[in-house]
Amino acid sequence: MAELRELVEYSDKLSLLYIDEDKEFLHNISEILKKVFLKLDDASDATTGMGYAKLNRYDLIIVDSASSVMSIDQLVKNLQTVYRYQDIIVVAKNLGEQKMLELYGLGVQAIVSKPLKISLLLDAILKITSKIAHEREFLTAEIEKLNENLLYERKRIGRFMVNEKKLTDKIETYENNINFNKNIYELTRLPSKYALQNALNGTPQSLLYINIDHFDFINSIYGMGKANKLLKECAVRLKKFMPQNAELFHITADEFVVLLDTPQADQDIMLAKQIQSMFKEAPLEFDEFSHFVVFSIGVDRGSGKILFVNGKSASKESRYFGGDQVTLYDPQSDYIKQQRENLYWIETLKKAFEENRIATYYQPIVSNTNPHASKHYEVLCRLIDTDGKIIGAEKFIHSAKLVGLATHITKTVIDKTFKLFTSNDYSFSLNISMYDLHQNYLLEFLRYKCQRYQVDPSRVYLEIVKDVILDKTDTIDRQIFALKEAGFHIIIDNFGSDAIIYNRIFELQAEYIKVDGSLIKELSQQGPRGIIAESIIKFAREGGIKIIAEHVENVEIYEIVKAHGIEFSQGFAIAKPSLTL
């Protein structure tokens, strides 16, 4: 995910216009982006934004689709009337596939979904600004050459004004329209994605979507200038290998497309594999460097603009499984099914947030030695679907992480929980993920909630999942120690499912561990898992750490847990999760 500091290399000489009717959000996002752009203007409606666009040339314009003045299609068209080749990012909510295709067909560079995750917006901005930087680096060199030629002509033949006029006009064309032909990708002089849109003409075709694996690493290790030369060499080699019925397009910095007209049977797959083999046989040579290039290639067959969408999805599938692969688009593949399921849960989550259908359930954790101890509950997130069915978090949490909704869920759960527990003196546990700690908001947010709802931090327990334990970084450790110093308690969740985390428990000075239910069930057995469970109990007791037994599902397991001296229990034998306390 992109960060502000990564943008500066490309954006500090660029101008940005941001159009959004949400004035508070517009102010906040503008304050962030002003730090990295040379110039930034913001407009709280489409009419004002159009006025700015007519007065100034902006390198990039970001528009929110929720305009009360005009449709997003009309706004994009109006902006392109001012400057035909304007780079535009659209921020939108609940756009269907057809609408997205229409916007891309209009020339929109990127679409970022709402609720907006800043990191996804920064990713889109980084991709576009780096593209502009690549193109300008190339064109700036061209302009310098033309200026040198102009100076030479002036010195050598002052009276031949015709040549001077031609050179002057050419320089003016470059400078006034640095992206003078959107149908050509300037760096490689190959047809661009705009030309591809016209080439997808509805006849039988095959599309190869070629993505250079690990191009970010190439950019980092060689630098942008050398990476540009590698891209040019890559384009030259690909072009030499094209059959008669194929055309090569350059889509973005690290992405190419091969379009085959009326392909022969399996010609697309064979060509893709031949391209892979050709680049593996010899490295690309540029300056004093050489580099082996590998690709993730997605292939789709059929007709129309959907080939581009499906080919890109198949390329992503290749990258998902490690790269350096050729994948034929299959709508029934496990990866595509997973993407559809992710899309379903993402849309379901967005609607659930809008309609306040994210609920908190509460499951008690009881003391096995002191039945009169103060009550304690684990807070569990549930989604109530449109039919009133209760959906567990395990169904949607992975999809939520993909679009930055995981922390939004955590904040919603925290807010609902504090509102409930302000009226009692019970303690409670909140599940905290790696995403919450990476965004570094918890300490300030929890302190505010404690103050707002008069809940003492000593009543708040934070259940840290194992991905946080395994992700040993100074930033995360400092946050956990700061939370402990502020009075919050730390619980290690699902303990026992991964033995690597034992040492981290002492490093983080955890006071409690929750033993995984799969081990609790084996406490009375003599097999390996029973031995592991016994060793965990001994480990915790000797380390002065209290144990919470998970998934205590019946009285028999409950009695065994107590017999082993485990301090706390949670499970159906005690109580099922409930909307009420």
| Tens-digit pLDDT profile for residues 482-523 | 999 999 998 888 766 555 567 778 778 888 888 877 777 777
Chain-wide mean pLDDT for the chain?
Answer: 85
How far is the CA of 420 from the CAs of 28, 324, 490, in angstroms? 30, 52, 21
Confidence of residue 100 (pLDDT cuts 50, 70, 90): confident
Q: Where are the domains of the chain?
A: 4-134, 181-330, 340-569
Q: What is the CATH number of domain 181-330?
A: 3.30.70.270
The span from the CA of 575 to the CA of 365, in Å, is 9
List CB contacts of 271: < 8 A, sequence separation 6 or more: 208, 243, 246, 258, 260
Q: Which residues contact 355 (CB under 8 A, 6 or more apart)?
A: none
The sign of the torsion formed by the CA atoms of 92, 93, 96, 97 equals: positive
Handedness of CA 526, 529, 535, 536 (dihedral sign): negative
* Other beta carbons less than 10 A from residue 542's beta carbon: 8
C-alpha distances in Å from residue 159, one per residue of 150, 151, 162, 171, 315: 13, 13, 9, 20, 57
Per-residue pLDDT, 329 = 93
Query: Which CATH number does the domain 4-134 belong to among 3.40.50.2300, 3.40.50.720, 3.30.43.10, 3.90.1150.10?
Result: 3.40.50.2300
Q: What number is the average pLDDT over the span 97-120? A: 83
For residue 169, what are its two tokens?
Answer: 């006009």
Is residue 235 pLDDT above 60, yes or no?
Answer: yes
With 80 as the cut, is the pLDDT of residue 466 above it?
no
pLDDT attached to residue 175:
59
User: What is the rounded CA–CA span in Å between residue 390 and residue 358?
Assistant: 10
Q: Over 60: is that where the pLDDT of 2 sits?
A: no
Question: Count H helices, E strands: the chain?
Answer: 23, 23
The closest alpha carbon to 543, from 497, 489, 503, 488, belongs to 503
Least confident of 83-92, 129-138, 154-163, 207-216: 154-163
Is pLDDT above 90 for 461?
A: yes
For 138-165, letters b (16+ CB in 10 Å) and e give bbeeebeebeeebeebeeeeeeeeeebe
E strand or H helix that includes residue 297 = strand 295-302
Contact by Cβ (8 Å): 249, 259: yes
Helical axes 406-421 vs 442-453, angle rounded to 10°: 20
Q: Six-digit token pair at 459?
A: 């009543």
**pLDDT above 90 coverage of the chain, percent:** 30
| pLDDT tens sequence across 77-90 | 989 888 888 899 99
SS3 of 225-253: HHHHHHHHHHHHHHHHCCCCCEEEEEEEC
- CA 504 → CA 9, 33, 468, distances in Å? 38, 38, 10
To the nearest 10°, the Cα dihedral for 384, 390, 392, 396? Answer: -40
Q: Which CATH superfamily is domain 340-569 in?
A: EAL domain (3.20.20.450)
Over the stretch 275-323, which tens digit does the pLDDT of each residue have?
Answer: 999 998 888 887 788 888 999 999 999 999 999 999 999 999 999 888 8
Amino acid in position 301: R
pLDDT > 70? residue 55? yes
- Tokens encoding 469: 């334990």
- Say yes or no to pLDDT of 69 above 80: no
Backbone angles phi, psi at 284, to 5 degrees: -80, 135
Q: Give 398-438 pLDDT, tens digit per residue.
A: 888 877 888 889 999 999 999 999 999 999 999 988 888 88
